[in-house]
């Protein structure tokens, strides 16, 4: 039964990643014509009823979204909004696979944040993998050379804020459900996108000439039905993929399914080649390989809780611990 659940969990994760990749593809396709805040608002509005259904299915009741911890889930949602805003803006300028690979520095940041904020110990092998992984980032971004420019920093910033949101989820997970946290994250997406629309919506602050800045500052555009349907599809995609990913981690050990998250890079490579004939250069290929290898080592090694302080002249409660 355990083997069957693990296999099902891996399949759910891979299916969720494949579905999520279509959202990245859509956002990259529309990034030259519409502002990000418009796509985010449509996506969040469409996703809202689906996420309520997910809360009902997984939690058994809707009251889990009105617990006293709702404001903490909202603050975490702001971190998620920042994370994916950085990521989506990078899509406007960078190849799809490169953006995904740089975003997958998140496990490295999670390891560092766990040590700094949660006082967990990093095994030496994991610490070496973290340092090596950031070397892979430098190989891709190539600061000072003919690299990605300033846009190359955006998915890394997205990975950092994503890591902080995951660290925030640990204490919240003791009292709040994953479905409720996803619901409040979507609410934050909607409200923050509305704030951006109020600031940039009239087009008076639009900046052209840079694809990333234009995607952020472009004014509201009335889309034809086809493009509106693409934006709305992102909401359905996000809800469906989230359900599959939640199910994956619910029925299978996270240490088993987490390494398969890197399958997302395959979809980035596939869509990038099929649509834009984009493939990383030799240096970027090397950087992607280094980040993936480092991330998988970090996921496998994890971090360890710091040992409790032991009074002087008292035996250590764990004599086998270093």
Domain assignment present for residue 322? The answer is no
Q: pLDDT, tens digit, for every residue of 263-293?
A: 999 999 999 999 999 888 899 999 999 999 9
For residue 317, what pLDDT is reported?
A: 35
Contact 34, 221 (CB under 8 A): yes
Assign 188 a pLDDT band (cuts: 50, 70, 90): very high
Determine the distance from the C-alpha atom of residue 50 to the mean position of all C-alpha atoms in its chain, rounded to a whole number: 20
How many percent of the chain have pLDDT more than 70? Answer: 91
Q: pLDDT, tens digit, for every residue of 109-164?
A: 988 988 888 888 888 999 999 999 999 999 998 776 566 778 899 999 999 999 99
Q: How far apart are CA 165 and CA 186, in angstroms?
A: 14
For residue 305, what pLDDT is reported?
A: 64
Domain assignment present for residue 315? The answer is no
Contact 62, 52 (CB under 8 A): yes
How many percent of the chain have pLDDT more than 90? Answer: 61
Domain assignment present for residue 240? The answer is yes
Q: How far apart are CA 243 and CA 48, in angstroms?
A: 13
Record the pTM.
0.88
Assign 304 a pLDDT band (cuts: 50, 70, 90): low
For residue 177, what pLDDT is reported?
A: 87
For residue 306, what pLDDT is reported?
A: 56
What is the number of structural domains in the chain? 1
- Bridge partners (DSSP) of residue 121 are 304
Q: At what angle do helices 70-91 and 36-59 cross, to 10 degrees?
A: 140
For residue 174, what pLDDT is reported?
A: 85
In this structure, the number of other CB atoms found within 10 A of the CB of residue 176 comes to 22
Domain assignment present for residue 321? The answer is no
Q: pLDDT, tens digit, for every residue of 209-260?
A: 899 999 999 999 999 999 999 999 999 998 888 888 878 887 887 778 888 9
Range of the domain at 207: 2-301
- 168 pLDDT exceeds 70? yes
Domain assignment present for residue 317? The answer is no
Domain assignment present for residue 87? The answer is yes
Q: Judge residue 110's burial from the number of C-beta atoms within 10 Å of its C-beta, 0-12 exposed, 13-18 middle, 19 or more buried.
A: buried
For residue 145, what pLDDT is reported?
A: 59
Domain assignment present for residue 311? The answer is no
Higher pLDDT, 317 or 75: 75
For residue 183, what pLDDT is reported?
A: 92
Domain assignment present for residue 8? The answer is yes
In the structure encoding, which two tokens stand for residue 191, read together? Answer: 């409200």
In this structure, the number of other CB atoms found within 10 A of the CB of residue 125 comes to 12
């Amino acid at each position: 039964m355990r083997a069957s659940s693990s296999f099902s969990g891996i399949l759910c994760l891979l299916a969720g990643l494949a579905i999520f990749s279509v959202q990245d593809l859509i956002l990259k396709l529309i990034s030259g014509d519409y502002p990000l805040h418009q796509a985010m608002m449509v996506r969040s509005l469409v996703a809202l009823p689906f996420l309520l259904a997910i809360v009902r299915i997984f939690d058994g009741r809707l009251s889990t979204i009105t617990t006293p911890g709702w404001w903490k889930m909202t603050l975490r949602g702001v971190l998620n909004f920042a994370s994916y805003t950085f990521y989506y803006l990078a899509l406007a300028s960078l190849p799809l696979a490169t953006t995904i690979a740089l975003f997958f520095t998140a496990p490295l940041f999670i390891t560092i944040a766990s040590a700094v904020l949660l006082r967990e110990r990093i095994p030496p092998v994991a610490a070496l993998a973290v340092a090596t992984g950031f070397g892979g980032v430098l190989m891709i971004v190539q600061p000072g050379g003919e690299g990605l420019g300033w846009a190359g920093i955006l998915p890394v910033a997205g990975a950092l804020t994503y890591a902080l949101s995951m660290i925030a989820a640990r204490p919240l997970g003791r009292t709040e459900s994953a479905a409720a946290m996803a619901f409040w994250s979507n609410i934050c997406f909607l409200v923050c996108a509305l704030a951006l629309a109020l600031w940039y919506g009239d087009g008076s602050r639009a900046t052209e000439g840079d694809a990333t800045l234009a995607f952020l500052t472009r004014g509201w555009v009335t889309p034809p039905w086809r493009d509106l349907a693409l934006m709305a599809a992102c909401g359905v995609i996000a809800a469906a993929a989230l359900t599959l990913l939640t199910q994956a981690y619910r029925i299978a050990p996270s240490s088993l399914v987490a390494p398969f998250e890197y399958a997302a890079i395959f979809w980035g490579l596939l869509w990038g080649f099929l649509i834009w004939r984009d493939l990383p250069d030799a240096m970027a290929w090397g950087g992607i390989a280094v980040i993936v290898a480092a991330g998988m080592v970090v996921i496998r090694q994890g971090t360890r809780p710091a040992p409790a302080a032991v009074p002087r002249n008292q035996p250590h409660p764990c004599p086998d611990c270093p």
